[in-house]
Chains A and B, each alone.
Chain A
Amino acid sequence: MDNLATVTIDGRVVKVPRGMNLVEAARLAGVEIPVFCYHSKLKPVGACRMCYVAIEKVPGVVTACTTTVTDGMVVNTKDPRVVKAQQGVLEFLLANHPLDCPVCDRGGECPLQNNTFGYGGPVSRYVEPKRHFAKPIPLSRRILLDRERCILCYRCVRFQKEIAGDETLTVINRGARVEIATLPGREFDSPFSGNTIELCPVGALTSALYRFKARPWDIRSSPSLCDQCSVGCNVRVDTRNRQIVRLLSRENAAVDDGWLCDRGRFGYEFANHPDRLTQPQVREGTRLRAAEWEEALYQAAQGLRQVVSQRGPGTVGVLVSPRLANEDLYLAQRLARAVIGTSNLDYRLTPHPTVSPLRPDAASGSIVGLEKARTILILGADPLNHQPVLDLRLKKAASLGARLIVVDEKQTDLAAFARLWLRPRSGSLDTLARGLVHLILANGQVNQEFVDRRTEGIDALRARVADDTPERVAASTGVPAPLLEQAATLLATNGPASIVYDRDLGASDDGAAAVLAATDLALLTGNIGRDGAGLYPLVRAANEQGALDLGLMPRRPSPPTPSPTGGEGGHAGCPAGGMTGAEMLDALRAGQLKALYLLGVDPLRELPDDRALRDGLTGLTTLIVQDILPGPAQELATVVLPGAAFHEREGTLTNLERRVQRLWPALKPPGKARPDWQIIHDLARALGTSFDYAQASDVFAEIASVVPTYRGLTYGKVGLKGVQWPLDVASGQEAGSLYEDPGDTRLAFTPVAPSTARIV
């Protein structure tokens, strides 16, 4: 017997998976069953009573959302009893509904309007006064609740409880007096609150930012990405009058599962800001004045040329934002390395963390792969704050049965969902991680087959952790030995297991050693290279992974310069050495840098009180600032170049799971602003190169030709859902997991003592 059931819905015969509910089954059969409370991501509750159907041999009508298919079921969605009951439900819903559709944000995209149109009766028999509430009341500064419009489907409350895992919303009172409410004395302070606006099937929950801004029919929509963090949630940008009016989720099951966090959803105001830079500026004495592109680019090029020829390319620095697109980053590094001839190039201002020795330097698994994990070790990571929608995925994994082990001194959001929460004293993360390695070795829980076949260097590892006995580890970390035992046993025996940690963890001494031990744990237990078994160093910024992939830092392999366009810059090849961002800041303070090109970064915004840094910037011969909004460094700039925001351009971002995803232009850049890649291109030409990229896709094509991990990728392949690199060009398969194929190279346990393992 297969896993399919055959059902007949309104005469259409379909085979659907057993256990599927009738709403979904009908969708597959091409039959619409109207719903309000049902949502495919939430548990069915059968509250709204809209989805009645009649089933042969079953008395009366039943709700489709709470009925699962059985083989041979015959369903009628148009039975007269169904029609009457649905008309009844709509009449009940509208009885107390204010019908203020003309001034309702939802008007025109409202399931209540649509279902009434499709299934409602012709008249209302309700003559009593309607229920009245003060309207609307703020649940938080972002979300307002109109209780008169609310039809009490409880989707919002269920989302918060089931998906967000907080109980920031609740239900109060009874009968027709029921209201959605926050807990007494608290506001709706969930970091995921905005999702409820989209879930709301009426205009009861509205966005303070969007209220009364637009009607759905005079909005223009475009696909895009959220650029607030490394998850890269897919969004729909809605614009009107050359402004973003809202961001909605554009569900990508692999990435965001249909959710956005509030930072992403409501964080677009910078793009609409009245102070957006719209015109290039050049310095004239103590002032900046507006200039045309030609003049500004000429001045920028002159300034760079002058410094290079007088003080050498080693006195020029380029700092880029890891939120810039791959196209920008790629051209920026080409400009720096091959045109200017400097390797003083970085995407970060703080020291680089120690990272896992495995290459490539990226998460080995996929976001959706985490759902397959039975155990997930979360080591010094706080996704709620840095990768919020990943936090939801980890909670989903937990609700699917994964055991979470949270290792963090702080009580992170995930600690409440964890099977085990280990709290090592600060500074002892390395000891704890080594203690787990020790335990797995000592308890004979090593995946010997994997270790023999795929790894090397286990003997050195054995020796290194020989002293990290549970007793000692417990004494120095404060984590009781039995908890350590349980954690080690879960990791080793309850697979597949994944390990998630903050990539920046490696910036501290104990974190660095912990990061290395995390790799050892994954290799020892054979937990790498398949769904559910992955090693996830979490990057933070929206295109930090792209910056790593494209070598936007010194002392890292960088993409080779392609011959057709790179030949004439005069600085072919990659100069050795180079300063990191942190080193460049030091050099600035010491007056050793003479020219600086800032792309989307402003060191003075990060370090406003750093006088020496300010003096260093003031002392620069040439300071080119490319950005979309004014910032403190611009006051010291010799040239200011206006860039485009994420929704005003084409380009790609690479998220924390190596997924290359596309940006689309929803609007033109304001005034004379241009996409960053184009500005770099123009500057390179002003410097005398023959850079020749007509559009962003030309730059991407070059990336795909010179960066091995991006081979085979095109904008077309990336499409609406993105592709996890590397693409298997032959099969067209994206790579859910790295290290799948044994190949020849063996995966190495941490080769050396941690203190000397710093990669950069």
Chain B
Amino acid sequence: MPFEPIITGNVGVPNAWEIDVYESRGGYRALAKALREHQPEELVDLVSKSGLRGRGGAGFPAGRKWSLIPKGAPEVYMVCNADESEPGSFSNHELLDWDPHSLIEGVIIGSYAIRARVAFIYMRGEFWKPTGQRMEAAIAQAYARGYLGRDILGTGYNLDLHLFIGAGAYVCGEETALLESIEGNRPMPRPRPPYFPPSIGLYGKPTAVNNVETLANVPHIVLNGAEWYTRLGNPPRNPGTKVFSLSGLIKRPGNYEAPLGITLRELLFGYGGGMLDGRTFKAVTPGGTSTPLLTAEHLDVRMDYDSLPAVGTYLGSTGLIVMDDTVCIPCAVYHMSKFYQHESCGKCTPCREGTSWINAILYRITHGQGREEDMPLLLDLSDNMGGRKTVCALGDFAGFPVTSSIKYFRQEYEYHIRYGRCPTSCQPAEERQWTISQP
């Protein structure tokens, strides 16, 4: 491949998580440069000019987010979102595993840029061993080397960085739920307005929440300049690279750093090695299950924050679950729906009730009890819980696989409903319908 990885450069390097190894590969040079040669506002400008967009899913420009933090606010926070729980996404995990220091370096630079004195890395609970422990050790090393704590590198800048381990809920990745969790509350997302983190965030103070990969890009931009970054990927609106997680029925599953704007075809058939022998491509979740499916007709679409919305889906967190011709789409979507009914935090009526209801209907359809009216019902329910009708986007997410699969694979649903069985050889899980009946 003609492509030099940027943020995954240390993945696979033996002991990359040790500070000596990291430094020997140029680590913490960006930090020194940022702190010694730049005023905080210059760094905000630099990142803005680079065009770096948030890798957490929404693609919000990172520099712009930082510039929304009010200047002169006495107390502001930087929070790194390392909760990665999207089905199909495992790119942050690998970065955290191999290269904790590059994230720490990015966090420190970002904190300096917004003048935060306290920062958090919020890590999903399931990552504790060994990823969290490595991060903890890495933070300790960074303190010991004077990259954290008081008077960092003699510049007078102070920063404390805390690792916060979550208790394991998908919704904790939603930034306001994440902040609730750090505050010790039940992680139910906050309504925005008024709780936009850059205005009212952690403990009510202005807060920048950024994804792991977003922050991991920052040291490279500091070292190489904004200009350099704007030439990568699919400029001007989608510069840089993205780590794509390929999984499912594909020859070489794994994480691949590739330029933004790469075509789906090159990603699946180039990087991923194509379909298993004798199989044909059927569908993929471009950004994890929380994004509408793409099909064979979309293979030439470019994978970036603007090209995907043009075909009705999103880049999300680039978790590509590949489905081939052996997969029964309604059954696959039924499994996805289990995730959402389990992970809805229960705050919003439509999401709380709708995720369970959709799951129950899909259970019936995939277990031979579908009715003609179920498909319009699924579409209508998804509409009643989607389109920004809920506090956070989970209500939309849960409907995406349902509506997109009905759009592209309607005949498979019809088959299930008409004949009470699967058109593929897929065996529907022999599980009982999920009901709640508790003492």
CB within 8 Å of B: which residues of A? 44-50, 52, 59-61, 63, 66-68, 84-85, 88-89, 91-93, 95-96, 125-126, 128-129, 131-134, 151-152, 154, 170-171, 173-178
| Residues in B322-372 with C-beta less than 8 Å from chain A | 341-350, 352-357, 360-361, 364
Given the interface pairs A44-B191, A60-B388, A171-B186, the reply to whether A177 lies near B436 with Cβ below 8 Å is yes
Question: How far is it, in angstroms, between the C-alpha of A88 and the C-alpha of B383 when the chains are bound?
Answer: 9
Residue B309 CB within 8 A of the other chain: no
Question: How far is it, in angstroms, between the C-alpha of A613 and the C-alpha of B389 when the chains are bound?
Answer: 72
Q: Is the CB of A52 within 8 A of B389?
A: yes
Contacting residues, chain B, for A133 (C-beta < 8 A): 436-439
Q: Is the CB of B191 within 8 A of A175?
A: no
**Interface footprint category on B:** 35 or more
Given the interface pairs A129-B435, A175-B341, the reply to whether A152 lies near B389 with Cβ below 8 Å is no
- Closest Cβ of chain B to A584, distance in Å, is 56
Question: How far is it, in angstroms, between the C-alpha of A60 and the C-alpha of B269 when the chains are bound?
Answer: 39
- Closest Cβ of chain A to B354, distance in Å, is 6
- Closest Cβ of chain B to A559, distance in Å, is 54
Given the interface pairs A47-B348, A49-B349, the reply to whether A176 lies near B341 with Cβ below 8 Å is yes
Question: How far is it, in angstroms, between the C-alpha of A91 and the C-alpha of B194 when the chains are bound?
Answer: 28
Residue B48 CB within 8 A of the other chain: no
Given the interface pairs A47-B349, A95-B353, A175-B352, the reply to whether A125 lies near B435 with Cβ below 8 Å is no
- Closest Cβ of chain B to A289, distance in Å, is 56
Residue B377 CB within 8 A of the other chain: yes
Q: Is the CB of A175 within 8 A of B343?
A: yes
- Closest Cβ of chain A to B92, distance in Å, is 23
Q: Is the CB of B191 within 8 A of A46?
A: yes
- Total contacts A to B, CB within 8 angstroms? 124
Q: Is the CB of B349 within 8 A of A174?
A: no
Q: Give the 10 A-B CB pairs with smallest separation, nearest first.
A: A88-B384, A178-B346, A92-B353, A46-B191, A176-B356, A175-B344, A66-B191, A131-B436, A128-B360, A132-B437
- Closest Cβ of chain B to A182, distance in Å, is 14
Q: Is the CB of B377 within 8 A of A125?
A: yes
Q: Is the CB of B389 within 8 A of A60?
A: yes
Residue B130 CB within 8 A of the other chain: no
Q: Is the CB of B360 within 8 A of A174?
A: no
Question: How far is it, in angstroms, between the C-alpha of A44 and the C-alpha of B347 when the chains are bound?
Answer: 13
Contact partner of B439 (CB less than 8 A), chosen from A92, A134, A174, is: A134
Residue B373 CB within 8 A of the other chain: yes
Q: Is the CB of A60 within 8 A of B344?
A: no
Given the interface pairs A45-B191, A85-B389, A125-B373, the reply to whether A50 lies near B349 with Cβ below 8 Å is yes
| Residues in B52-87 with C-beta less than 8 Å from chain A | none
Residue B44 CB within 8 A of the other chain: no
Contacting residues, chain A, for B364 (C-beta < 8 A): 128
Question: How far is it, in angstroms, between the C-alpha of A44 and the C-alpha of B387 when the chains are bound?
Answer: 21
Question: How far is it, in angstroms, between the C-alpha of A66 and the C-alpha of B347 when the chains are bound?
Answer: 14
Contacting residues, chain A, for B193 (C-beta < 8 A): 66-68
Question: How far is it, in angstroms, between the C-alpha of A147 and the C-alpha of B353 when the chains are bound?
Answer: 14
For A84, the closest partner residue in chain B by CB is B384
Q: Is the CB of B356 within 8 A of A49?
A: no
Given the interface pairs A60-B388, A60-B389, the reply to whether A174 lies near B350 with Cβ below 8 Å is no
For B355, the closest partner residue in chain A by CB is A175
Q: Is the CB of B344 within 8 A of A126?
A: no
- Closest Cβ of chain A to B185, distance in Å, is 9
Contacting residues, chain B, for A91 (C-beta < 8 A): 384
Q: Is the CB of B191 within 8 A of A174?
A: no
Residue B169 CB within 8 A of the other chain: yes
Q: Is the CB of A46 within 8 A of B391?
A: yes
- Closest Cβ of chain B to A169, distance in Å, is 12
Question: How far is it, in angstroms, between the C-alpha of A205 and the C-alpha of B387 when the chains are bound?
Answer: 33
For A148, the closest partner residue in chain B by CB is B436
Supply 19 A–B pairs (Cβ within 8 Å), ascending by A. A49-B348, A49-B389, A49-B390, A50-B349, A61-B389, A88-B381, A89-B349, A92-B349, A92-B353, A92-B385, A129-B435, A152-B346, A171-B186, A171-B188, A171-B346, A174-B345, A177-B346, A177-B436, A178-B345
Contacting residues, chain A, for B436 (C-beta < 8 A): 131-133, 176-177
Q: Is the CB of B343 within 8 A of A85?
A: no
Question: How far is it, in angstroms, between the C-alpha of A60 and the C-alpha of B389 when the chains are bound?
Answer: 8
Contacting residues, chain B, for A152 (C-beta < 8 A): 346-347, 349, 352
Contact partner of A134 (CB less than 8 A), chosen from B194, B361, B373, B438, is: B438
- Closest Cβ of chain B to A61, distance in Å, is 7
For A48, the closest partner residue in chain B by CB is B349
Question: How far is it, in angstroms, between the C-alpha of A96 and the C-alpha of B383 when the chains are bound?
Answer: 19
For B361, the closest partner residue in chain A by CB is A128
Contacting residues, chain B, for A46 (C-beta < 8 A): 191, 348, 391
Question: How far is it, in angstroms, between the C-alpha of A60 and the C-alpha of B395 when the chains are bound?
Answer: 14
- Closest Cβ of chain B to A70, distance in Å, is 11
For A85, the closest partner residue in chain B by CB is B389
Contacting residues, chain B, for A178 (C-beta < 8 A): 345-346, 352
Contacting residues, chain A, for B389 (C-beta < 8 A): 49, 52, 60-61, 85, 88
| Residues in B178-203 with C-beta less than 8 Å from chain A | 186, 188, 191, 193-194
Question: How far is it, in angstroms, between the C-alpha of A178 and the C-alpha of B389 when the chains are bound?
Answer: 20
- Closest Cβ of chain B to A85, distance in Å, is 6
- Closest Cβ of chain B to A77, distance in Å, is 16
Question: How far is it, in angstroms, between the C-alpha of A265 and the C-alpha of B338 when the chains are bound?
Answer: 44
Question: How far is it, in angstroms, between the C-alpha of A129 and the C-alpha of B352 when the chains are bound?
Answer: 16
For A126, the closest partner residue in chain B by CB is B357
Contact partner of A131 (CB less than 8 A), chosen from B347, B385, B435, B439, is: B435
Contact partner of B343 (CB less than 8 A), chosen from A63, A84, A128, A174, is: A174
Q: Is the CB of B346 within 8 A of A175?
A: yes
Q: Is the CB of A88 within 8 A of B350?
A: yes
Given the interface pairs A60-B387, A129-B435, A132-B437, the reply to whether A92 lies near B357 with Cβ below 8 Å is yes
Question: How far is it, in angstroms, between the C-alpha of A67 and the C-alpha of B193 when the chains are bound?
Answer: 7
Question: How far is it, in angstroms, between the C-alpha of A125 and the C-alpha of B378 when the chains are bound?
Answer: 11
Contacting residues, chain A, for B349 (C-beta < 8 A): 47-50, 89, 92-93, 151-152
Question: How far is it, in angstroms, between the C-alpha of A175 and the C-alpha of B348 when the chains are bound?
Answer: 9
> In this complex, which of A49, A129, A151, A175 has the most chain B Cβ atoms within 10 angstroms of its Cβ?
A175
Contacting residues, chain B, for A134 (C-beta < 8 A): 438-439
| Residues in B292-345 with C-beta less than 8 Å from chain A | 341-345
- Closest Cβ of chain B to A427, distance in Å, is 39
Given the interface pairs A49-B390, A128-B360, the reply to whether A174 lies near B435 with Cβ below 8 Å is no
- Closest Cβ of chain A to B39, distance in Å, is 35
For A65, the closest partner residue in chain B by CB is B191
Question: How far is it, in angstroms, between the C-alpha of A46 and the C-alpha of B191 when the chains are bound?
Answer: 6
Given the interface pairs A84-B384, A131-B436, A176-B436, the reply to whether A93 lies near B346 with Cβ below 8 Å is no
Question: How far is it, in angstroms, between the C-alpha of A175 and the C-alpha of B194 when the chains are bound?
Answer: 24
- Closest Cβ of chain A to B105, distance in Å, is 35
Contact partner of A95 (CB less than 8 A), chosen from B357, B383, B385, is: B357
Q: Is the CB of A63 within 8 A of B342?
A: no
Question: How far is it, in angstroms, between the C-alpha of A88 and the C-alpha of B380 when the chains are bound?
Answer: 9
List 19 additional A-B contacts (Cβ < 8 Å) besides A61-B388, A133-B439, A175-B346: A44-B191, A45-B191, A47-B349, A48-B349, A49-B349, A67-B193, A68-B194, A85-B384, A88-B381, A92-B357, A92-B384, A131-B436, A132-B435, A152-B347, A154-B347, A174-B345, A175-B352, A176-B344, A178-B345
Question: How far is it, in angstroms, between the C-alpha of A733 and the C-alpha of B186 when the chains are bound?
Answer: 48
Contacting residues, chain A, for B354 (C-beta < 8 A): 92
Question: How far is it, in angstroms, between the C-alpha of A174 and the C-alpha of B193 when the chains are bound?
Answer: 24
For A91, the closest partner residue in chain B by CB is B384
Q: Is the CB of A89 within 8 A of B350?
A: yes
Q: Is the CB of B352 within 8 A of A176?
A: yes
> In this complex, which of B341, B342, B389 has the most chain A Cβ atoms within 10 angstroms of its Cβ?
B389
| Residues in B387-439 with C-beta less than 8 Å from chain A | 387-391, 433, 435-439
Question: How far is it, in angstroms, between the C-alpha of A47 and the C-alpha of B191 when the chains are bound?
Answer: 9
For B186, the closest partner residue in chain A by CB is A171
Contacting residues, chain B, for A170 (C-beta < 8 A): 186
Q: Is the CB of B346 within 8 A of A174?
A: yes
Question: How far is it, in angstroms, between the C-alpha of A60 and the C-alpha of B384 when the chains are bound?
Answer: 12
- Closest Cβ of chain A to B85, distance in Å, is 13
Question: How far is it, in angstroms, between the C-alpha of A128 and the C-alpha of B380 when the chains are bound?
Answer: 17
Given the interface pairs A60-B387, A174-B342, the reply to whether A47 lies near B347 with Cβ below 8 Å is yes
